[in-house]
Amino acid sequence: MNKTYKAHLALITITLIFGFHYTIAKGLMPGFLHPMQLLFIRVLGGLILFWIYHRLFVREKVDRKDLLRLALCGLSGFALNQAFFYAGLNLTTPVDASLIHVMNPIFVLVFAGLIIREKITWLKITGIFVGGCGAVILILYGKMVNMSTNSFAGNLYVFLNMAFYALYLVMIKPLAVKYHPITILMWISVFGFLFILPFSVWTLPQIQFHTLTMTAWLSVAYIIFLNSFLAYILINLAMKVVNASAVSYYSYLQPLIASIASVTVGIEVIAFPKIMAALLIFAGVFLINRKNNSSKLIS
């Protein structure tokens, strides 16, 4: 098997890992674990695995001047991002969360224009508007359909989760070309863990370990090893062979996987407003990724 096939096999594996993560994490909350408990376990587990990998295979040092940026990336990319994700997923559905995550390119484009002044075309502005309409439908539909599940607040939290992750991607860009990916992941895990510690450590004594079933333990192991560690290793390997756009295209399959898993286990039923929201979000992302050199540039 040549390198290209191996890279795409890795990307398929990553897509499956991330796609099933929504339903697996949803199955843990709130019956077995509070969102902050799951967040603490995931970040600590990932930190330990990244530290071991870095210690064994990378051993790269970072400049002291980059520690502040790494700390800010840890705050936005790990602490706030994952805190809002688990808090939101606890209240909404896996399909809603996965659809909002497809909007990642839209958020990145907005922050890149605001922070590093990347130029934006009218076509991309249209894409932002169309995708935003899809997100609004998805969030407001959660409010109209069932207030008892707080899905409106959950979708809003996931929306903030993706916004902070996009901000992280823009801030991490200068460091990504300077350091090994594992070095970056280890350091932002360190800072992310320090930021979430005061807000999550108090929940740990409340964990009822005797209530955790074998399925729950396997779900926790899945989130720590596969979703938080292996997937990022595979992304690093795939990026050496294929470009970033190829990686992003695979992420568009995650809502499909999340939908299949969620419907299979009976968590939700796909309704027409969600289909409409999904089409608008995908259309917006398509417009943003489409190259059109004749479009007028907005600086």
Domain that holds residue 276: 3-298
pLDDT of res. 296: 35
Exposed e or buried b per residue across 238-277, where buried means at least 16 C-beta atoms within 10 angstroms of its C-beta: bbebbeeeebeebbbbbbebbbebbeeeebbeeeeebeeb
Closest among 44, 65, 130, 95 to 274, alpha carbons compared: 95
pLDDT of res. 285: 62
pLDDT of res. 236: 72
**200-214 tens-digit pLDDT:** 999 999 999 999 999
Please tell me the total count of domains within the chain: 1
pLDDT of res. 246: 59
Mark the ranges of the chain whose per-residue pLDDT is less than 50: 147-148, 292-299
Global confidence as pTM: 0.81
- Sequence-separated (6 or more) residues with CB below 8 Å from residue 17: 226, 227, 230, 231
pLDDT of res. 168: 85
- Sequence-separated (6 or more) residues with CB below 8 Å from residue 63: none
